[in-house]
Amino acid sequence: MTRELSKDYLDQLVADVHALAADDPNVWGAPASYIPELAHIDPAQFAISVALEDGMILSAGDCDVPFSIQSISKVFTLSIALGRVGDTLWRRVGREPSGNPFDSVMKLEQEKGKPRNPFINAGAIVTTDALLSGHAPKEALSEIIHFVRAAAEDDDIHINKTVAASEKATGYRNLALAHYLRSYGNLDNEPDFTLGVYYHQCAIEMTTVQLARAGRFLASLNDVPKLIAPAKVRSLNALMMTCGQYDGSGEFAFRVGLPSKSGVGGGLLVIVPHRGSIAIWSPGLDSHGNSLMGTYAAERLSRDLGWGVF
């Protein structure tokens, strides 16, 4: 039997997550350790917000704690890039799931420097590079943060520079990917410049309330900021469904049945076409680098409310 969304429903979901963890603390998973600033975040945190068509937002848990959106930023940069360079982006980035981890270099050599999709790191670095061309890094970053603030209709959204610096200090994998891309002629700017913008976009911090609001433009709702053309909303949802969880995308589609994007900060943006946008945060991750309890909650909510698209 499907249930109705309500504040009580979300409070119960949060209570159930904490009850599971009380029985077995391992259910939280562990925060990302390769970005030192994220490694010491307490994994026992959980928040959920749902933004609906009528402007209503229902939330429960730690929904006023800002977290590092990390790869969820790739949805925003892709939205801006598709608006700016349009379909020419697809000459540089593919649209197929990779089946490899988000930071893998393997297919990049086999496929001559063209990343499989815009959500794996290599593809996101190319997308950011496209935004950077013709601009100073500061201008590109300012465009990104303004887009996010406009989507959320909230100016109180900022970049955590300590997190960006922390990732840069240990970002050997991304540096390798950027140099590799450049060697194939698929990076227009110097790796340090493109990665500088990329690390800062990943270090944007938002609460689940802000992220749920910011996701509404992808749900084709009326009365929300029209930030990109309807055809591009469709493309983004297709990419989120097939590639948004990296090598966990098939499993996520199977369990949740909704387009989504994850980040190693433990955030999850889930789009419910024509209904609303869901943001979930729990910092502990699974083996793909996606939020463990976030995925659990997305699956429960989608099943309980009958919101999956299949």
How many other C-beta atoms are found inside a 10 Å radius of the C-beta of residue 104?
19
Distance between CA 24 and CA 220 in Å, rounded?
Answer: 39
Catalytic residue among 49, 59, 74, 224: 74
Which among 115, 8, 3, 111 is positioned nearest to 60, based on CA atoms?
8
Would residue 220 show up in a list of annotated catalytic residues for this protein?
no
Nearer to ligand DON, 117 or 121 (CB): 121
With H, G, I as helix, E, B as strand and everything else as coil, classify residue 37: helix
CA 100 to chain centroid: 17
CB of 225 to ligand DON, least distance (A): 25
The CA–CA distances, whole Å, from 138 to 1, 131, 159, 168 equal: 51, 11, 12, 16
Q: Closer CB to ligand DON, residue 52 or residue 263?
A: 263
Of 277 and 290, the one with the shorter C-beta distance to ligand DON is 290
Tell whether residue 282 is a contact of ligand DON (CB under 6 A): no
- 3-state secondary structure at position 38: helix
CB of 182 to ligand DON, least distance (A): 17
Cβ neighbours for 224, distance < 8 A, ≥ 6 positions apart: 216, 217
Q: How many CB atoms lie within 10 A of CB 15?
A: 12
Q: Name the closest residue to ligand DON (Cβ).
A: 71
Which of the stretches 52-60, 104-112, 232-240, 257-265 binds ligand DON when contact is defined by CB under 6 A? 257-265
Task: Write the binding mask 112 to 131 for ligand DON: x where contact by CB under 6 A, - elsewhere.
Answer: ---------x----------
147 binds ligand DON (CB under 6 A): no
Contact at 8 Å (CB) between 13 and 59?
Answer: no
Q: Which of 17, 75, 126, 264 is catalytic?
A: 264
Give min distance, CB of 304 to ligand DON, in A: 25
CA atoms within 13 A on the CB side of 226: 5
d(CA 261, CA 233): 14
Based on CB atoms, which residue is closest to ligand DON, 174 or 237? 174
Q: Which range touches ligand DON (CB under 6 A), out of 181-189, 205-213, 262-270, 297-305? A: 262-270
71, 249, 260, 277: which is the annotated catalytic residue? 71
CB atoms within 10 A of CB 7: 11
- Work out which of 59, 290, 295, 302 binds ligand DON, going by CB under 6 A: 290
Nearest approach, Cβ of 192 to ligand DON (angstroms)? 15
Residue with smaller CB distance to ligand DON, 26 or 287: 287
Q: Is-contact 99 75, C-beta < 8 A?
A: no
**How big is the site for ligand DON, counted in residues (CB under 6 A)?**
13
Q: Does 29 bind ligand DON (CB under 6 A)?
A: no
**Is the CB of 32 or the CB of 57 nearer to ligand DON?**
32
Which of 263, 276, 283, 284 is in the footprint of ligand DON by CB under 6 A?
263
Question: Which residues, other chains included, contact 16 with Cβ-Cβ below 8 Å and sequence gap of 6+?
Answer: 300
Rama region for 61: left / alpha / beta (φ>0; ψ in -120 to 50; rest): left
Of the candidate spans 11-19, 38-46, 186-194, 260-268, the one that interacts with ligand DON by CB under 6 A turns out to be 260-268
In sequence order, what are the beta bridge partners of 285?
30, 291
Residues carrying an active site annotation = 71, 74, 198, 246, 264
Which residues of the shown chain bind ligand DON in the complex (CB under 6 A)?
70-71, 102-103, 121, 167, 174, 202, 262-264, 289-290
